[in-house]
Structure 1
């Protein structure tokens, strides 16, 4: 092709503009690996392009376009690149369609889009595109449990590897990773990356064999994540670092890349992420370094940029994950799944650094739950108002705890005039019977370490690492008043009280509920369940009507067994040998005295769980009922716990 040719004068573009010759641009759900049913862009007579473009002609045209990438004219190069993709699509149309692999799913319909069938030994992600639809209530519950199980495994592995690295650092052995279970040089020694690698080695990544277009079953709008690797494990976003996840052209029979998700983390100067439902996203490439926000070269319409442009052309929805600053999290930010967006505009202009960049305008699709980022910002605003002494609209009380908690516990009700939680005597901690024998304590003069008395009582090592629960167990022995270690000892966590801004709110679904204005990290302490302590002997004389206000600690299912369980990822890891929990000797009476935890709703798929903790005394039949997060909990999402009884038996706390 002569260098003086323009896009409009090129014989190639004249050919591709002829009605009946252009390859149809189908929605991804209609891709079938063949040439389609005709019907070109020009509204032609529906002839099959394979009848007009022979394989020999296609090869000759592609050979003629091969020097296009070396041209100086950037705009012309972009046009020629698109022309090559059109020819590649036409070439795919001349080949017989490949058989699509069947994908079983519980009573759901999964439409195949150029579904690939990679070798089981190939760990590379599949190029097969599918869209999941027609899910019933049982299907949603099934996938939600599946996602929660994967998140539990990931968080448990990450905590395990973080603890191992901490032990090596204390011993002067450097910041190694997971030893024989995923350790490798460089940045992969990070616990979050080692955990992800361990799961992919064991085949525990979700949807690894397909690329899902649209929502991921079991992942809800507003779900929050602290690490990019977790997004990969769940199939939300398949690239650990790249902001655009796409299927390359080589894996799509139509020969054009397809974008499926993006992560907007403010990595470029030209990003605009201020509005809730509108996002202006800068394309990829052209940066000085991997972590630089400046551009040193013009961006090109290729790879992820081209995939976004093609998604705009086809009208394909994208999953959008938006990063937001969060000082209280380990990474200093939180990633929130914001739902589905569509690219509605694309332009190439001179950016702030003086280089040409692509900017894509994305608009959030209607009919979804509230924007996750919007809830994060709303929670921050409410928290700031409450801290300043104001009482925002809908709040009936700024602090029902009457300063008995470290943080105020507001009461929110924008439904009716009920202020029932204000009428009870608030008790932050239960008043257990005084021990007959003075409690034992460690003699550590600094933070507790290996082989101290408290570590031995916990048997399988300390329960926490950086304030996060490592592994659930029948009972945790924290350091108490009789211990010599300082208040900063890492074995003092739950006893320090609430660290998250919780509030009681009026709910149309559950009567009263509890939610947080902060992001709660999985494995973190949330609050203690408190009330008036009755011995089991005293409880025998309680009337049947009054008995509905008694909480039996033995009725809570042992959900603590799920937290920290890595047996699925490391099957040869020996099971821990925990100390046996003694028989519990009390009930909690919440008829007159209670705290914020008494308003947590019941669920058979909870996001918090009970962990018994003993401190301050040695009466092992009277442990504290501590509540920990089973997953990362976003602000304004209701907390739920499994009471181990029927829904009708826990309704009294919601009244």
Structure 2
């Protein structure tokens, strides 16, 4: 069972060795020598224009019109190159969202709520910069913050250590489900925008041109779905892994990895600490300052402040706010989380943010920057014995797939086991032993159904959409009146069965309703693993909700399967797959009247798949209770509900070189074995 470390500050005690602070052992107390410092209030980089107001984000009433002026005592919102207006835009959207989903919004009582300034000024007399936290019920302490409505960020600073396997799985599942809500909500609101694109004002109020990532974060905050708001966590966030990738800055805030939507340094402010010392918890390195230097394990990080609206250094930086917090974290030997942000081709936002682990601040100084103004520099060194940096893996995979490496790594047995049957090659990698088994099977791009399946209930017709399907067409009506995918080909929500356009439709292959027929797009790699035998990973970054591939095999009836199993052939039993499709797009925590999709009603899958001689890359996916891939049933080339295609979609953003996994379900009732072939 994991533990919250009790971290107390004692002003008259000596400073501990920094190596002891970041260790994995449970520490009962930190004894820190705290000099008396009076930090100055950190000014805004850009003063707000006259009559500019921000929504009181701590007000839990989504229909309230309480507005407050910006509080100058709050942390500076330092802008990055493309994100100078993210914070103000998010605050604007938070206020505007009070009219969003008006028929679905819960009503809250705000009579006894403090104003934003009152809450910000409130200090717990028992709190210190780092305070003790009871060990009991720590699972619910972190996770249940997602159930508390718009609470003020806590002044309690804790570190979570010694998590057991069950704890790790629990927290990972909490983070995974929260990110799934965020991603599917963002896709959902983009679909709603499509439906209302002809209106100047829609159901979201004046939000037609507002960004979907900001809207999703805003409504999740209103519903109390942001994680880790009731504790400030030093070190690793439970459930967030080194290498996790985010496409949007606001998603980082939602999971609690970095609590501020714009500032590069997140910290416990001096006003929240009884001893008056701020403590830094995380930073985002995105090249926003010209004096930054980043060599991976060592970062020369420029403090914030002093930039103009064009991100040019225009004034001297001061040791206050986040800069002072970084200096204090260095003095106390407290680690900080590092998230790197950089441009990435194919990202929906044009950028990616990668969590790269924990660093120690080992030095700080003041020097003249490139623009001639004084800048504060911090040297950060990555703590040893952590997983490889996600940003390094991302760049390595990009160089590998683009052929930029001078020497290809040893272990590649085949450069395409599909023998050009797929649009992109499927690699085979094994640097462990001499097992080349995946090369001995015939590669099967799509499943082989019995001939009678195509003659059963011949399809009544198809759509007449010449250039691509539109709202209200025949195929849209088959899906209950709406398309299963957005304009970018992302799955909007999982359903019992999806009808795609088929051979009787006039629309082209590029139609938005033919997503799973387009074949493999990501460069997948079958690799040998010491833990799972054979596994599958991607050289590309796979976006949540995107199509991956079909799970293929030769379809057998129950009677045929019983005969084949007697011969020891490898069979897959789809009826035992976990119904993970119901999790994708589940917005029951957003809409009180949300109903799990039940249309169309699909009979139990009473067939097996023979993969003993013919198979594809999907057959090598590993089993997991917290999978990152789901199975979605799809029909397009015939009308027999009992024999759908098994299409695989990503449940989360899957970084390059991370193993793909499925929930194969429980032991099969036919054979008593788990439905997995490797």
Interval of TM-score (by shorter of Structure 1 and Structure 2): 0.7 to 0.9
How many residues are matched? 565
Could you tell me which runs of 5 or more consecutive residues in structure 1 were left unpaired when the two chains were aligned. Answer: 1-27, 42-47, 70-94, 112-116
Map of 2:8 onto structure 1: 31
Q: 1:431-474 CA distances to partner (integer Å, 9 max, x unpaired)?
A: 23442265321111232122211001111511111211010001
Compute the displacement of 1:359 (Å). Answer: 2.2
Map of 2:308 onto structure 1: 288
Q: 1:228-267 CA distances to partner (integer Å, 9 max, x unpaired)?
A: 1111111100011111111111111121111100111111
Q: 1:260-302 CA distances to partner (integer Å, 9 max, x unpaired)?
A: 00111111222222x221222222122221xx34222222222
- Distance in 2 (alpha carbons) for counterparts of 1:526 and 1:40: 52
Of 96, 103, 125, which aligns to 2:153?
125
Tell me if 1:340 matches 2:358: yes
Larger relative contact order (CA 8 Å, sep ≥ 6): 2
Distance 1:363 1:407, change over 3 A: same
Q: 1:105-139 CA distances to partner (integer Å, 9 max, x unpaired)?
A: 5567999xxxxx9xx77633122211112222211
SS of residue in 1 equivalent to 2:357: strand
Distance 1:482 1:108, change over 3 A: closer
Compute the displacement of 1:630 (Å). Answer: 0.8
Distance 1:162 1:591, change over 3 A: same
Q: 1:369-414 CA distances to partner (integer Å, 9 max, x unpaired)?
A: 111111112211221229x998542111101010011110010011
Equivalence map 1:375-454=2 (5 Å) = 375-385=393-403, 392-434=409-451, 435-436=454-455, 438-439=458-459, 440-454=461-475
Equivalent residues of 2:15, 2:332 under 8 A apart: no
Of 495, 504, 511, which aligns to 1:482?
504
Map of 1:150 onto structure 2: 178
Map of 1:165 onto structure 2: 193
Equivalent residues of 1:382, 1:392 under 8 A apart: no
Equivalent residues of 1:460, 1:577 under 8 A apart: no
Equivalent residues of 2:8, 2:132 under 8 A apart: no
Distance 1:502 1:576, change over 3 A: same
Q: Hey, which bits of structure 1, 4+ residues long, moved more than 6 A? A: 65-69, 107-111
Map of 1:473 onto structure 2: 495
Q: 1:295-348 CA distances to partner (integer Å, 9 max, x unpaired)?
A: 222222221111112111211100111113321110122111111001122222
TM-score normalised over the length of structure 2: 0.77
Of 624, 627, 632, which aligns to 1:606?
627
- Distance in 2 (alpha carbons) for counterparts of 1:68 and 1:477: 56
Using the TM superposition, name which of 570-579 and 215-224 deviates more.
570-579
Of 526, 531, 551, which aligns to 1:509?
531
Distance 1:404 1:247, change over 3 A: same
- Distance in 2 (alpha carbons) for counterparts of 1:471 and 1:186: 22
Distance 1:313 1:458, change over 3 A: same
Equivalent residues of 2:127, 2:273 under 8 A apart: no
Tell me if 1:497 matches 2:519: yes
SS of residue in 1 equivalent to 2:340: strand
Using the TM superposition, name which of 641-650 and 470-479 deviates more.
641-650
Distance 1:385 1:36, change over 3 A: same
Compute the displacement of 1:356 (Å). Answer: 2.1
Tell me if 1:615 matches 2:620: no
TM-score normalised over the length of structure 1: 0.80
Compute the displacement of 1:415 (Å). Answer: 0.5
Equivalent residues of 1:608, 1:639 under 8 A apart: yes
Compute the displacement of 1:506 (Å). Answer: 0.4
Equivalent residues of 2:150, 2:224 under 8 A apart: no
Compute the displacement of 1:525 (Å). Answer: 0.7
SS of residue in 1 equivalent to 2:468: coil
- Distance in 1 (alpha carbons) for counterparts of 2:141 and 2:327: 25
Map of 1:631 onto structure 2: 652
- Distance in 1 (alpha carbons) for counterparts of 2:189 and 2:603: 31
Map of 2:115 onto structure 1: none
SS of residue in 2 equivalent to 1:580: coil
SS of residue in 2 equivalent to 1:546: coil
- Distance in 2 (alpha carbons) for counterparts of 1:135 and 1:385: 40
Map of 1:363 onto structure 2: 381
Of 138, 154, 161, which aligns to 2:166?
138
Equivalent residues of 1:199, 1:205 under 8 A apart: yes
Q: 1:606-644 CA distances to partner (integer Å, 9 max, x unpaired)?
A: 110100111122222221111111111111111110111
SS of residue in 1 equivalent to 2:630: strand
SS of residue in 1 equivalent to 2:253: helix
Equivalent residues of 1:258, 1:308 under 8 A apart: yes
Distance 1:239 1:327, change over 3 A: same
- Distance in 2 (alpha carbons) for counterparts of 1:431 and 1:97: 68
- Distance in 2 (alpha carbons) for counterparts of 1:277 and 1:365: 8
Equivalent residues of 1:109, 1:133 under 8 A apart: no
SS of residue in 2 equivalent to 1:334: strand
Distance 1:30 1:550, change over 3 A: closer
Equivalent residues of 2:667, 2:675 under 8 A apart: no
Map of 1:257 onto structure 2: 278
- Distance in 1 (alpha carbons) for counterparts of 2:472 and 2:141: 55
Equivalence map 1:539-578=2 (5 Å) = 539-547=561-569, 549-578=570-599
- Distance in 2 (alpha carbons) for counterparts of 1:97 and 1:530: 61
Could you tell me which runs of 5 or more consecutive residues in structure 2 were left unpaired when the two chains were aligned. Answer: 17-31, 44-123
Equivalent residues of 2:149, 2:223 under 8 A apart: no
Using the TM superposition, name which of 293-302 and 586-595 deviates more.
293-302
Compute the displacement of 1:152 (Å). Answer: 1.4
SS of residue in 2 equivalent to 1:161: helix
Which is higher, the Rg of structure 1 or of structure 2? 1
SS of residue in 2 equivalent to 1:542: helix
- Distance in 2 (alpha carbons) for counterparts of 1:147 and 1:302: 33
Equivalent residues of 2:200, 2:208 under 8 A apart: no
Tell me if 1:532 matches 2:554: yes
Using the TM superposition, name which of 636-645 and 101-110 deviates more.
101-110
Equivalent residues of 2:496, 2:597 under 8 A apart: no
